[in-house]
A and B are shown apart, each in its own frame.
Chain A
Amino acid sequence: MAHPTFSSTGDVTADVVIVGSGVVGAVIAHQMAAAGHSVVMLEAGLRLKRSDIVENWRNMSFHNRVHSDFQGLYPQAPLAPAPLYFPANDYVGLSGPDGSAFQQGYLRTVGGTTWHWAASCWRHLPADFRMKTNYGVGRDWAISYDDLEPYYCRAEEAMGVSGPHDPELQSPRERSRPYPRDMIPFGYGDRRVAELVNPHGFHLVPIPQGRSIQPFEDRPSCCGNNNCQPICPIGAMYNGIQHVVKAEDAGAVVLDQAVAYRIDTDDKNRVTAIHWYDADKKSHKATGRTFVLACNGIETPRLLLLAANEHNPTGIANSSDQVGRNMMDHSGVHATFLANEPLWFGRGPAQSSCIVGPRDGGFRSSYSANKMILNNISRVGPATQQALELGLVGQALENEIRRRAACGVDLSVSLEPLPDPDNRLTLSKTRRDPLGLACPDIHYDVGEYVRKGATAAADQIRQVAGLLGGTELRITTSFNANNHIMGGAIMGTDPKDSVVDGDCRAHDHANLWLPGGGAMPSASVVNTTLSMVALGIKAADSIQADFQGGRA
């Protein structure tokens, strides 16, 4: 078992230096450590106890909980702020026509943002990799679906994904290996909605999920306590912390409260060191053979820009000027209504089924696809809020809470933005973090493609609501973020207009990898984590190949 070597002053040397300990960094760390390489992970945030997070959530005010304050319960390192919205801390400065649609909730903590994801493990469709070729919009990936497919399988196996074995329910169907576990079984609401909407082409399918109803390795069964977000209280949902633990068992070392800020390069533009501040603002240096930045879609481009040096004056990996550009997220809308029969969402895990009928088609040449998640988050909170607003008391109040909780439907609709170089992350000239490092600014406009897609989605929402006898239909009036941050270190074959290649290796630096959402050139409409992990595993394979080939 190989370990990194520490100097008396706290500097470190390892075969692989990874910045970021979220799911992508942790999966790579585990693979490299298990292969016998020394690995050190620099994590800006704190190492947390699950019990503290659970208790912080239960101790939150009703208002915060019912409005999904998924950030505030996670303590932040004093030197490594992350976005907060209750109230807003303006760590990320937003501008542009849809700046408010980019209010991302990501965590800087050991284990990363999968602490508060919902464990949806979707694959992109084969067509999503060829948007330019197929539909004349957006970009093609540097790799095809077939190239990534084996890595999708490995990602699913690493995360213990439960997905449908029935091909009719798979999206996409192109698979070389079955899901590790069959789908999480539907509850009544999923079955009933499928019955009502599927005859009309909506194609309701189970969401592939990083949890299971039987134990998976040392992970307990999901008991459906309906709290996947913002914290699974029992560890039944896959979290990046699971691979952090595995990596540590294989010899990797995680340094928490280690904020990377500077990157050294040599005359061949290979990365030679990454510098970080510890909790006492003391600077240290990590040297190594290969380097991986897996800090998430905002922090990776921010770090690349912050670390501009003499040889790379516009930022590391940025000779193309594409670092921080093409920022994307599944800008979405929510639709709520009351069905004319009880559907009882809120039984089981927080995500269960999804309408994927509008995921793909020729229309994508002119407007965005969408997917509609039937949120399975308990409606008791909103139902209570609404029933109280009606001024009810006594039995009428309780009946109304029950009715609204049983009949309430919340559709979370995701749309697909196109990569637009003007949707750009830059370094703030006015706001700095406690270490004096520039905070990120992001300019965002969802674009006509998404706006037209939203119009089409609204039609579909009304049709779904109509099929369920919906009343009180409300469709949100502004786009919301979905925390699926993509594009800031975009992949491509041409070093002049992209940042990384098909292995997520930086075009500019032979020993630097930038895997994760930032590399994704098309957003599709599905949650990004599985694609990010698949890209991470592909990157890890290419790092291993470099080691074996003596290139690192």
Chain B
Amino acid sequence: MSDPLRIGPDAVESGPGVSRRTLMMATAVAGVSTLAPEMLAPGRAAARALSADEARFLAVSKAVTGHQDLNPDIATRLFAAMVRTFPGYGARIEALSHLTGGGGAPEEILARAEEANQRQTMLGLVAAWFTGSVQDKTNAPMVAYYDALMYRPTHDALPVPTYCFAAPAWWTEAPPPLGVPVTSPVPVPAPAPPPVGIQSPPPPQSKILPTKPPAKEH
């Protein structure tokens, strides 16, 4: 599409298999929130400048998520919700900011956070940006749905539910390549043992099901 206004986050044709640098550059160019000033939407809530605390929260958030294009409006609102939910949250962000100041990838920051006993704060902040909710609890405050970061890794393949993806029957087309290793990057916990109620012998190797295929019966 030649019209630059048509390019939004949806138009970024890259999965996480693409390098982070490429992805970030693409989203920085294409993201609505980084459009040229005259194209900025009139509705930005934080027309005021961010407070020092909010600015620090945004900077820390960018560092721990690895996304430079985080929306300042969402940052402002998420910060307020976190402060309301977690007593002393401002101090925890301040502590985290000492670790993010050194730069580096989120993995490196996490290592430093672990040493500084800030691991849960950092993971909680990452989770909030990814889920759009302050925590994974019933009726926890939320600030983002469409813009929750969890939808970005699959934006080329899956709709954000409730939002139409493309013309009807688009799903019959081949999905994009996975682009990431199909095996788990970390050891995963063993599955829970089968429940007693439906305990059963080991699965049959290749035998036909103990049921008649209905096709033969009708």
Contacts and interface: CB of A to CB of B under 8 A. Distances in A.
Q: Is there direct touching of A and B in the complex, by C-beta distance under 8 Å?
A: yes
A59 B151 contact: no
Interface residues of A, number: 98
B102 interface: no
A398 B178 CA distance: 12
A140 B125 CA distance: 58
B123 A393 contact: yes
B165 A223 contact: yes
Contacts of B171: 185, 187-188, 224, 347-348
A200 B180 contact: no
Contact of A225 (B64, B138, B140, B164): B164
B126 A388 contact: yes
A10 interface: no
Contact of A460 (B170, B192, B209, B213): B209
A64 B139 contact: yes
B34 to A, nearest CB: 20
Interface string A154-185: 00000000000000100111100000000001
B3 interface: no
A344 B188 contact: no
A310 B136 CA distance: 53
Contact of B213 (A186, A201, A457): A201
Residue among B109, B162, B178 with the highest chain A CB neighbour number at 10 A: B162
B157 A347 contact: yes
A395 B181 contact: no
A359 interface: yes
A341 to B, nearest CB: 6
B154 A62 contact: no
Interface in B194-218: 194-195, 197-204, 206, 208-215, 217-218
Contacts of A472: 188, 191
B218 A381 contact: no
Contact of B136 (A62, A227, A333, A398): A62
A360 B212 contact: yes
A477 B212 contact: no
A407 B202 CA distance: 24
Interface string A366-406: 00010000000110110011001011111111111111011
Interface stretch (B53-61, B72-80, B127-135): B127-135
A252 to B, nearest CB: 31
Contacts of A283: none
A322 B2 CA distance: 69
B20 A358 contact: no
Interface in A181-202: 185-188, 200-202
B194 A458 contact: yes
A392 B136 CA distance: 16
Interface in B134-156: 135-142, 145-146, 148, 150-154
A225 B164 CA distance: 5
Contacts of A188: 171, 174-175
A459 B203 contact: yes
B122 A185 contact: no
A57 interface: yes
B209 A463 contact: yes
A403 B16 CA distance: 10
B163 interface: yes
Contact of B214 (A66, A224, A357, A380): A357
Interface stretch (A448-456, A494-502, A511-519): A448-456
B213 A399 contact: no
Contacts of B208: 200-201
Contact of B182 (A233, A341, A344, A348): A341
A402 B214 contact: no
Residue among A125, A227, A340 with the highest chain B CB neighbour number at 10 A: A227
Interface string A442-473: 00000000010011111110110010000111
B14 to A, nearest CB: 11
Given A186-B172, A224-B164, A225-B164, A399 B133 contact: no
A396 B163 CA distance: 27
B130 A378 contact: no
Nearest to B190: A472
Contact of A362 (B138, B154, B167, B212): B212
A551 interface: no
A170 to B, nearest CB: 9
B161 A226 contact: yes
A125 B211 CA distance: 15
A248 B170 CA distance: 35
B145 to A, nearest CB: 4
Interface in A327-351: 333, 340-342, 344, 346-348
Contacts of A394: 20, 66, 105-107, 110
B142 A342 contact: no
Contact of B181 (A233, A403, A474): A403
B168 interface: yes
A465 to B, nearest CB: 8
A226 B170 CA distance: 12
B211 A344 contact: no
Contacts of A457: 198
A97 B116 CA distance: 49
B105 A401 contact: no
A434 interface: no
A293 B72 CA distance: 54
Contacts of B162: 54, 57-58, 225, 227, 231, 233
The 3 closest A-B pairs by CB, nearest first: A477-B195, A348-B171, A394-B106
Given A399-B185, A471-B188, 8 more contacts: A200-B209, A223-B164, A223-B165, A342-B182, A344-B158, A347-B159, A395-B20, A459-B203
Interface of A: 54, 57-64, 66, 86-87, 125, 168, 171-174, 185-188, 200-203, 213-214, 221-227, 231, 233-234, 333, 340-342, 344, 346-348, 356-363, 369, 377-378, 380-381, 384-385, 388, 390-403, 405-407, 451, 454-460, 462-463, 466, 471-478
Interface of B: 15-17, 20, 64-66, 105-107, 109-110, 119, 122-123, 126-127, 130-133, 135-142, 145-146, 148, 150-154, 157-159, 161-172, 174-175, 178-182, 184-186, 188, 191-192, 194-195, 197-204, 206, 208-215, 217-218
19 contacts: A58-B146, A168-B215, A347-B159, A358-B211, A380-B158, A394-B106, A394-B107, A398-B152, A399-B185, A402-B17, A402-B179, A403-B184, A405-B153, A405-B158, A406-B154, A451-B197, A456-B210, A472-B191, A478-B197
